């Protein structure tokens, strides 16, 4: 069977329409919100984890868990900064109120 007829053709990025300004701003807000959620959840879980360590002591698994939570918080902060930077670029290109629904 011929591959060209059996497989649907993947559309390249340049064939896709550009998202509207509202959709672009919503995507930037989702990135920022995901970063904030990640940081807040990692901090809350870390505080509970610290109480557990104080009550039961330290072992390898708790240290690995703490390292994972720290990594999650750092990744969340990185995502917030990246989204903020992308939002500033978006606003510089399209205007401060571009894509805001009233």
pLDDT, tens only, 38-69: 999 999 999 998 888 889 888 888 888 888 99
Residue with tokens 């708790």: 62
> Where are the alpha helices (H) located in 1-102, listed in sequence order?
3-6, 21-56, 60-94
| Cα end-to-end span (Å), the chain | 53
Residue 68 lies in a domain: yes
Distance (Å, rounded) from C-alpha 84 to C-alpha 36? 12
pTM score, whole prediction: 0.75
Residue 88 lies in a domain: yes
Cα angle 57, 48, 41 (rounded to 5 degrees) comes to 140
**Residue numbers of the domain that contains 31:** 21-93
Which DSSP category does 9 fall into? P
Residue 52 lies in a domain: yes
Identify which has the larger pLDDT, 63 or 15: 63
Count how many domains the chain has. 1
């Amino acid at each position: 069977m011929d591959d060209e007829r059996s497989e649907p053709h993947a559309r390249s990025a340049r064939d896709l329409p550009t998202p509207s300004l509202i959709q672009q701003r919503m995507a930037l807000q989702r990135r920022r919100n995901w970063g904030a959620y990640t940081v807040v959840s990692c901090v809350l879980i870390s505080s509970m984890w610290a109480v557990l360590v104080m009550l039961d002591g330290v072992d390898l698994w708790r240290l690995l868990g703490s390292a994972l939570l720290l990594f999650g918080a750092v990744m969340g902060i990185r995502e917030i900064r990246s989204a903020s930077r992308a939002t500033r670029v978006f606003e510089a290109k399209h205007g401060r109120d571009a894509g805001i629904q009233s």
